[in-house]
Amino acid sequence: MLKIHGTCVAIGNEAILFRGPSGSGKSDLALRVIHCGGKLVSDDQTIIVRQEEELIMSSPENIRDKIEVRGVGIMNMPSKEGARLGLVLDMMPPEKIDRIPIPQFCWYLGLQVPVLGLEPFENSAPLKVQLAINSMRSSNKYAPTNTQ
């Protein structure tokens, strides 16, 4: 088990982990993805557990079913448990994002996960999240591996 700083949402059974410093737009983007049909997994802290060749995402018990909405407060929101991690999105300013990115990966608990940069405050950001996870699902170039 690993606890990391990040916000996680699920689209279907596939989890997307948003990483970035405080104020970078993780929770804001999560709210907009949830508004478009996603489901909160965790906000601010996420637990990762390896189950065979999958990474399963969940929320720490003390913050389960809660999301921080900047300027509004801590809000109750039902969350999903046990979503499989499919993609990591790093919150970045637009000038640091490649127009056509080269596949990048990170490692959690010995498994590789695809990583993309995303500007979370763009109007199109929730759609980009959906397009990115659909691309990961259909592309074998992002297949998980347990070799480092």
Catalytic residue annotation: 5, 26, 44, 99
58 closest CA partner among 36, 76, 73, 80: 80
Cα separation of 37 and 54, whole Å?
23
Closest CA to 38 of 67, 13, 57: 13
- Cβ proximity of 132 and 17 under 8 Å: no
Q: Distance between terminal CA atoms of the chain?
A: 19
